Amino acid sequence: MRVLVQRSKESKVLVAKKEVGKIKMGLVLLVGFMQGDDESVIDKMVHKVINLRIFDDEAGVMNKSVLDVGGSILSISQFTLYADTKKGNRPSYIKALNGEEAVKLYDLFNQKLKEKVPTKTGCFGASMEVFITNDGPITIMLEVNNT
C-alpha cells in the first residue's frame, strides 16, 4: 500500500463538476494498493498517517500530527501510484490491485481513518478533479507492505 501525503491549507474533490469532498487544514491522501495487499496493511498505514509529524509546532518545527492540530483528511483513490515506467513511455499498472479488491481496502482504510480524524473522500473509480492547496509544500510518500 502506498499513500502520497500532502499537507494542505484547503482541498476539495469534484466528480462530474459536483463537490463530493472538501476539507480545510489537514492532509490530502492519494491512496493506492498493489497485488498482495490485504487488511493487514490498513491499521499500519492508518497509524502512520494520523501520527505523521509534519505540522509546525510553536517554534516552527514540524513536530505535530494531524491529530495534534485538529486537522481533517481528504482521501483520494489513486491506482496510478503503482505505475511501472521502466519500459517505454506508456505506464503499466499491472502491479496495482484490481478494482474489486482495492475498493474494499480503500473503504476499510477510510472507515478506520474516520474513527480517528474527520475524513472526506473522493469516489473510487470515478474521474475526479482534485484541488489541493499544498502547504509548504510538504509531500511525503508512505509505503506499508504486508510482509
pLDDT band of 105, cuts 50, 70, 90: very high
Over the stretch 110-137, which tens digit does the pLDDT of each residue have? 999 999 999 999 999 999 999 999 999 9
Annotation marks residue 33 as catalytic:
no
Q: What is the rounded distance in angstroms from the CA atom of residue 3 to the CA atom of residue 143? A: 6
Over the stretch 2-52, which tens digit does the pLDDT of each residue have? 999 999 999 999 999 999 999 999 999 999 999 999 999 999 999 999 999
Distance of CA 23 to the CA centre of its chain: 13
Annotation marks residue 78 as catalytic:
yes
Mean pLDDT of 65-81: 97
Catalytic residue among 79, 109, 119, 121: 79
pLDDT band of 55, cuts 50, 70, 90: very high
Annotation marks residue 55 as catalytic:
no
pTM of the entire structure?
0.95
Catalytic residue among 6, 33, 78, 109: 78
Helix (DSSP H) and strand (DSSP E) numbers for the chain? 3, 8
H or E stretch at 100: helix 99-114
Number of structural domains in the chain? 1
Range of the domain at 121: 2-143
| Model confidence at 147: pLDDT above 60 | no
Domain with 18 in it: what CATH number? 3.50.80.10
Distance of CA 88 to the CA centre of its chain: 28
